[in-house]
């Protein structure tokens, strides 16, 4: 897909909406759009994070593998959301495995190139980092809520 085409797809996402034209163009230069099928692994837990991605359409799952318990999906990612954010946070190692649950369309940025781009363009960094942080904090808040196990409540009577 052409850089322009990618920029357009990008602006259609929550991540890309309201990005300055400048920022969209700069990002488009290193963006690649892909279609992936269910089961495709986009990021592997523990591996070096070589890419940051944005889900344009479809559904991805964040998985971890627990010895003895096998793989567990911690959370799913909705269109517009970011995956592989560890690509811009030292030590650049993935914290979970990202697997497509549905036929999905993603835009990915090469980690090396994205980091150098952000290093040399403060304005770009200033608009991109808050968006990434937004996704991370949203995920953190959700995780806490899951920990609260709210639906486990309400009993008719306490058992003996």
CB-based contacts of 13: which residues, under 8 Å, 6+ apart?
54, 55, 56, 79, 80, 107
CB of 142 to other proteins, least distance (A): 5
| C-beta of residue 109 within 8 angstroms of C-beta of residue 33 | no
Interacting positions 15-44 with other proteins (CB under 8 A): 38
Site string for other proteins, 50-89 (x = CB under 8 A): ---------x-x--------x-xxxxx-xxx---------
Measured between alpha carbons, how far is 18 from 138 in angstroms, rounded to an integer? 19
H-type alpha helices, 63-121: 111-120
| C-beta of residue 34 within 8 angstroms of C-beta of residue 135 | no
Nearer to other proteins, 31 or 135 (CB): 135
- Residue 150 touches other proteins, criterion: CB under 8 A: yes
| Size of the residue set binding other proteins (CB under 8 A) | 31
Binding residues (CB under 8 A) for other proteins: these are 14, 38, 59, 61, 70, 72-76, 78-80, 101, 138, 142, 145-146, 148-160
């Amino acid at each position: 897909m052409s850089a322009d085409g990618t920029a357009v797809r990008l602006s259609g996402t929550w991540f890309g909406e309201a990005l300055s034209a400048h920022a969209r163009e700069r990002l488009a230069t290193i963006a690649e759009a892909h279609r992936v099928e269910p089961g495709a692994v986009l990021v592997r837990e523990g591996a070096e994070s070589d890419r940051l991605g944005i889900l344009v359409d479809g559904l991805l799952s964040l998985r971890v593998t627990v010895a003895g318990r096998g793989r567990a999906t911690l959370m799913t990612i909705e269109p517009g959301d970011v995956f592989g954010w560890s690509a811009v946070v030292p030590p650049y190692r993935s914290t979970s495995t990202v697997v497509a649950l549905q036929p999905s369309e993603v835009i990915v940025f090469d980690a090396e190139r994205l980091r150098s781009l952000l290093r040399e363009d403060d304005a770009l960094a200033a608009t991109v980092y808050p968006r990434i942080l937004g996704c991370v904090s949203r995920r953190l808040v959700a995780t806490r809520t899951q920990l609260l196990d709210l639906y486990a409540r309400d009993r008719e009577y306490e058992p003996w």
